[in-house]
Structure 1
Amino acid sequence: MPEPAPAPPSRPPVSISALLELEQPALVLLDSNYKIVAANRGACLLSGFQPDRILGLDFFSLFEPMEREKLNDSIKSGIPQTALELQLVTAQGKMIPVGVSCAAAEGQIWVAMWDLQPLWDLKNLADEARDRVDRISNMGDVGIIVYDHDFRIEFANQMAGEILGRPAQELLGGELTEFLGKVQSIQLRNHHSTFHLDQQRRVRMELPVERPDGTRKLVEIYLSMTSNESAPVRTYAYLRDLTERVEMENELRKTNQFLQNVIKSSVDGIIAADMKGNIIIFNEGAERLLGYRAEEVIGKIHITQLYPPGVAKKIMRRLRSENYGPKGKLPTTPTTIVAKSGEHIPVRISAAIVYEGDREIASVGIFRDLRERIKMQQQLEETYRQLLHSEKLASLGKLAAGVAHELNNPLGGILMYANMLLEQAGGGPAAQDLREIVEQTLRCKEIVRGLLDFARRRGEELARVQLNEVLEKCAGLMSKQASFLNIRWDKHFQPNLPQVAADSDQLSQVFTNLIVNAADAMEGKGTLGIRTWAEGEPPQVHVEISDTGSGIPEEHLQKIFDPFFTTKEVGKGTGLGLSIAYGIVRRMGGDIQVRSKLGQGTTFHLRFPLEAPARIAAEAQEGLAGIRDREGRAVQVVLAGEKGLMRLLSFYDSFEPKDAFEGLPPGLKRERRKWVIGLMGGWRNFLLLHGEEVIGHIGVTLGESDLEEVIIFIHQDYRGKGIGSMALRHVGDLMAREGCRRLWLTVESTNTSAIRCFQKAGFRFTSRELQPEMEMMMDLEA
């Protein structure tokens, strides 16, 4: 029989022993009942079972019950499966994540397993890192966007979404240019086009962005690009919302500008310096006060250079002390500062230290110029002195007139009988005594005549007078006298000197008296100066008569115009010449002052207005035309206001005419024209000096207006005395005579003196309205 054919060659058997020695992956071989029939070292290490214990185990028992069904389906399908992620239960009961893959061949089931714990650890680390990045990127106020070369966004944090007005997730995958305006997108692309030149550079840009809700944001964007050969190019955009900051900066700029304007426009000087003394603020008021420009002092001049030596340190000591007010603040106090010209200027300073926390960083001072105030105070004191002098002259004039009249008759009798006895005595021994009696009696008569001239106020015959001509005439007459032969004349007359309204004869008397006094002071030797000029606002004509004599002691200067005061020897002067000259000049609306130093001579300075007081009053009245009361009716104002007074009196300062109507009684609602006479501060003084001229002007004005009512304001506690009382009564008489039948009188307090002045003119109380002690109505008694 033939030999059987040889069997076909079989597949080389798998070397199970070699597989069982492997540690990776873990391999087990299952039978048809899914029992483990073989396991390599890796399976034993992974499961924790010893080799003799793992064999025969149900493979499914190594996994969680809930995962066995998934594993069973995979193995029974007989189809090679991709890895499953399952939880392996070790012999020690520990759960280990494993990957499982199985395959069936020729009745054998091979299962491969590997430990997933290291991968899971890496994944957890990656997740933690990603969460940490998200938290960090969302912690600040900076939006972060990462996009590729097509501007497609790969990452966006929450702040980027808030700035662009969209949720961060909505930004992912979109193009950044979609969320910007057309113009802004072009700008962004233009900046990107420069990156190819230098990919390491950072680009800053500011873009206005309109959000979906219509609001607009100003966004600051910083761009930087990463370049790596192993990774695609990415651009990082860092976004910051500038809207609120810009708004705050604008508000701060406006506030700073306002404060700068306040400081700049302040009338007072404001100067600030740091704690090293460097000037940092110097406003326009300080420029006007000190004469420096701001650029000359800021950062260039030390603050101590603006004070006399030691004054700046003294002010700082006071600022740091609590003895002069709150620490760090110095209430208003007088001091002196030094101008660019070197002038020492009296000021009032209010100062403070500027603190930053508890640290001193600067000091600031507000300076108010006191020069004008001091000048005004001196003028007021001088005016007050002149008023006292005028009252003294008036009182002495009345006394002198009475005494002169009483003495004239007996002196006349003495002189007559002494002359008769002198004729009878012939050349006898009594003749010399009688001649002495006659001489002394004539001297007494001369004194009495001077008293009468002093007491008698002749009406001035005012005319346009050229003072140069009057002075030339006086100087020409006096220069021919023997006492002037050795005197040098120094005359400087301004050509075309404006004329003044004055009495030429009385001016000659004044100038002659001053020239004679100058010659007597020089004892016939020296220089006698006469100078004229015009200046001032309103314009005035000035005359100075000076000598180089012995001068007048300072203690005598205040008495020089007092009646009967003289520095001459007994018998050489009555002491009335300067008093008479003073009265003449003042009645013409002028002023006379003297300055002198012992051993250097004396100068008399005379000022004359170009117009008479009544004409000035008329001009002041024209300047106040057109004023209306609270009801809108035209109200004519006579001398109602200190601006008018300034032109009439040459003292006191500003006034707004509307102030005269603050006290108008509401009950006064008639439609006829009214006149207001404002008796305000300084009026009594004015009436003492210029009563006749002003009353005459008021009388003329009232006479032209067909008055029925007059309103009078007395804004200070008017004490109707002397000439002032007479003037008020004169006003009352004028009003009654010119047709006024009703008078409104407003006073600040019960003023019986002023009321009596009008009662004497025929006015009587008829009713009281509003505040009884403040406002009253008087009717003219039938």
Structure 2
Amino acid sequence: MTRRDTPSADAGAPDGTLERALSDARTVLELIRDLPTLDTLDDAVSRGLDAATKGLGFAGAMITHKGEEAPMGLLVLGAVGLESTVHRAGSILGGHTVEWSVADTGIERVSANIDAEPEVTGDPMRGRLARAGLVLPMRLGTRIVGTLTLTADPEGWEPPGEETLLLARAMADQLGAAVSSLRMRADLITRLEQLDALGRITHALTGVEDAEETMRLVADEGRRVFDAERAGVFLFHWDEERTECVVALGLSDGYIREVERVANQLQTTKALLEHQPVFVSRAQGRPGNTLAEAVAAEGFSSVALLPLVFAGETIGSLAFYHDAPRKYTSDERRLAVAFADQAALAIGKSRLLDQVTRVKREWQMVFDASGSGLAVTDAEGIIVRANRFVAEMADIPVTSLPGYDLKTVFRRWPEAGQGPLAEARASGRPAAAMLDSKDGRLLVVTATPLPDDRCIVAIDDLTDVVRLENRFRLVVETAHDAIVITDSDDRISFANPAAAELFGATAASLAHQTLDELLPAAGQRDRGPVSQALRYDAECRRPDGTTRQVSVSSAPLVDGETPTGRVAVMRDVTQEVETLDELRRSESRFRTLFTAAPVAIWTVDRDGRFLSVNRAALTMLGLDELPAGATLEQFVDPADAEPVRHHLAASLAGERREFFFRFQRPDGAVREAAVVATPMTHGTSPSVLAIARDVTDEQRLRERLIQAEKMASLGQVVSGVAHELNNPIAGINALAQTLLLEGPLDEGAERVLESIRHECDRAARIISDLLTSSRQQPLKRQEVDLNLIITETMELEEKAWPGEVEWTLDLAEGLPTVSADPDQLRQVLGNLVANARQAMAGAERRSGHVRTYLLETGVGCEVTDTGPGIHPDALGKVFEPFYTTKVVGEGTGLGLAISHGIIETHGGTINASNAPGGGARFCFELYRHLG
């Protein structure tokens, strides 16, 4: 609504305006009268907002208050009308509001557009609704305690007159006094209720002994006292480095698990360990933090974490969770800490009581379940309490034993004034004696005096110990190993028969001798500490002049911490030493044979990992040393990997295998080896011993011999067939040419004759290529510049096939000459270039590259193209005669075979591969030292 203001009195106001002014004054007077009668803050706020809107006629009103809940802002106590569309009760207004500025400076604000004021620049509510009005400070004496905002629709807005401002100021001051008074009264009542609750919980805890019940009572009462929706008690188990939630009121399992998981890593836990409470008014966390996600899922806005301190140590935390933002006042914080201290004291006392009860119960269980007899007697030796062990010896029920004399348990008890009970009481120290029980058992009775003339009597049954000692003596005397025991001076006090036999003397003659005298070499050893066990080897020289190799194991005998001697066990290892020496000599011979063998030898385990390799194997593999953890499969050609695994598996199963495989050396060379694999063991694990030989050169020589034989056979056939074919072909060609020259012919006949001539020429070329490939042409060697040969060949190529392929040359400078037949090299280059051109016939990009390069012992040439490349299956066949991938009629399959023969005749090498970027790659190399 638009506020209709009252003009000033000297303006000759009409009666309606005067009535309006009187009505406004009555509204303020009624408010002043009613406020002292209201009991609650909500009633006072509601009454003030009603008077501002209905009485003074404003479209909206809002009351804010300064308090501990919002130290950096104003707490909205209530808003109605136009203001309720912007703010709501419980909101906090910060520094970007006009209200905060008025509360801070005490200067009222009248504005035609409150949302356009400078302070509102950062207000997220700005722009939602245009409001005109005034903001007044609410005062209590000279202190500003809040603000009163009165707003109207800015359309038709007129600033209020002085009379309206005076009434509004009076209303603001009255509301300030009433709100402050009611809040102070509410705070006082809250403090009294909280103190009363603390008293109740303190009184209640004094009567609770169960730890779990104590903690649940604390959490539930605290939740009510501090108006929390959830509560929890968490105990710290530092010995196990974990946190445990022992009481959860309203907390989800997911949140509890996450807190238990990360509690030890939190900064809040570190503060709790320093006995510092933590109050979080707005709980939040970094994005992606799992605890922050758990907090968001739980839905609380603030939390109070209170340390539970007992005996100077933080034993846990008491936590209260609030769904709405909650700021604890300083008084509430002190009260919460006092509450937690009382709770910690009760929990600690309860835990101590539980611990004392548990220790008592455990002591009772130990007393009753002890494997020794335990009894408490009075000054006269009458049993006050005894366990089942004593009851069984006396053959009296354990419940009936109290009142019996202890001597009834034994066959013979010492006379009066003697025995362990009398000696213990007389000396004030424990006393012991060996006595027989009624059933013939040997018992050690130890009496320990107590201050009240009573004694604790311990009865140990040594019957089995004596039996074990007799068995031990029998074992020692019949043992095959020599056993001696020495005294503190290292002189022999006991020696078994095996020791007498080892030293070639009687057991009596060994007495009082030292081990160093019997084993002279042992006297030079480093004995180390007297209390240390020793193991060493020594030589025993017997009286008859013979010697024995002895392995000695010696251990100290101690009484408490005082050494009383040593026990030494000695074994005659003469035969083992001799066998070991022979084994070492045999191993040395094998190692020498293994290392110096001219063939490769290695051993591998079940995973194919090398266990050992000799120098010949490293040389074959092209290595200086074997990498750690290397396996055979790392060197095997991928195509042979599966067969090699099969053969090794068969050898591991006990079979002897012979096979071939290809392997690749670090320099990229692919070689072939012949292997004989035999099963063996390495320690307790099966392994394979392999002997290998590099047969690459043999295979190449064999292939050359086979190729030579094929070419010789081919030459015989070709030389006979060529003569028979050339004459008829020449005749057919001449006849077709004569018919063409005689003319005239129709177009169809002329095309047929031209086709006959073309096929005759093609047949003649095939016969010529066959003759060339089947016979070894003598080389006409001379010093040749390879770069010049390439330049001339490429010039002929460009003239014959202009623009067909975009060729680039990369010719190395300073390339030395080589001894070769220039015409045959031109033929090789022509074949490679023609092959590349034909391969790129259907390619989208047709470019070729010819490169020369320098070798340590010669020169090389590389020809690459951008064609489809060579199929992997064809790489091993491209140099075979008659092998071609072209369609019928477009190639003979002899060009690359001829080139291969020419280069090999020159003593060089030629190979084919696929270029990394696509296309085929042909390389040949010629060597200067061959001539």
TM-score norm. by structure 2 comes to 0.36
TM-score relative to the length of structure 1: 0.41
